Amino acid sequence: MKRIIFFLCCVYLFLVGFISKADNVSPVKNFEIQRYVGKWYEIARYDSFFEKGLSNVTAEYSLNQHGSVKVVNSGVKQNGQSTSVEGKAEFVDKTDEGFLQVSFFGPFYSAYIVFAIEDDYKYAFIAGNNYDYLWLLSRTPTVPKSVKDDFVKKSKSLGFDVDKLVWVKQ
């Protein structure tokens, strides 16, 4: 019985204590969370089980009292029903680096890597812990073609399969 408990504790520590980055994906430096908080619109993404079929997707970030970030993701299902989920994010290393871990399901965290952001914090390019998660976020529901092109070019250069991108209806 002690071995089983020890094993389960090791698995738990592995799952919650190891946040990785995809090869070649580096978080932005001089990241300012105070400028990042607020509402973002999801312009493009890789479809995943938790976002499949959603439109009008937004993410709202706000600072919690103890330095973590409250995350509220919202969207509209194909049947027209609104849905949302609340989670929290914390910095992995430095608070001025765009490398966070985010959790929507209890103690289970995943990487949230801001790998590009415009100087005015209008557009952000986000990756997860591997090549299965990718997002383009904007402060507005639409973006110029040049931003989309830059996102595709940068993502492809990092090894992402840009043919898998879903352009979100806002």
Residues 6+ apart with CB under 8 A from 39: 58, 59, 60, 139
Tokens of 168: 């979100």
- Boundaries of every domain in the chain: 2-167
Surface-to-core class of residue 115, CB atoms within 10 Å of its CB (0-12 exposed, 13-18 middle, 19+ buried): buried
Q: Spelled out in words, what is the top-level CATH class assigned to the domain 2-167?
A: mainly beta
Q: What is the predicted pLDDT for the residue at 18?
A: 56
Considering only CA atoms, give the Rg of the chain. 17
Q: Quote the CA–CA distance of 114 and 100 in Å, as a whole number.
A: 8
Q: Is the pLDDT of residue 75 over 90?
A: yes
Q: Quote the CA–CA distance of 151 and 167 in Å, as a whole number.
A: 12
Q: Quote the CA–CA distance of 80 and 55 in Å, as a whole number.
A: 9
Q: Quote the CA–CA distance of 59 and 104 in Å, as a whole number.
A: 13
Q: How many CB atoms lie within 10 A of CB 103?
A: 17
Q: What is the predicted pLDDT for the residue at 114?
A: 98
Tell me which residue of 94, 166, 164, 127 sits closest to 23, measured CA to CA. Answer: 127
Q: What is the predicted pLDDT for the residue at 1?
A: 44
Q: What pTM, to 2 d.p., does this model score? A: 0.87
Q: What is the predicted pLDDT for the residue at 141?
A: 98
pLDDT tens for 111-154 read 999 999 999 999 999 999 999 999 999 999 999 999 999 999 99
pLDDT tens for 9-67 read 334 444 444 577 777 899 999 999 999 999 999 999 999 888 999 999 999 999 998 88
pLDDT tens for 87-115 read 999 999 999 999 999 999 888 899 999 99
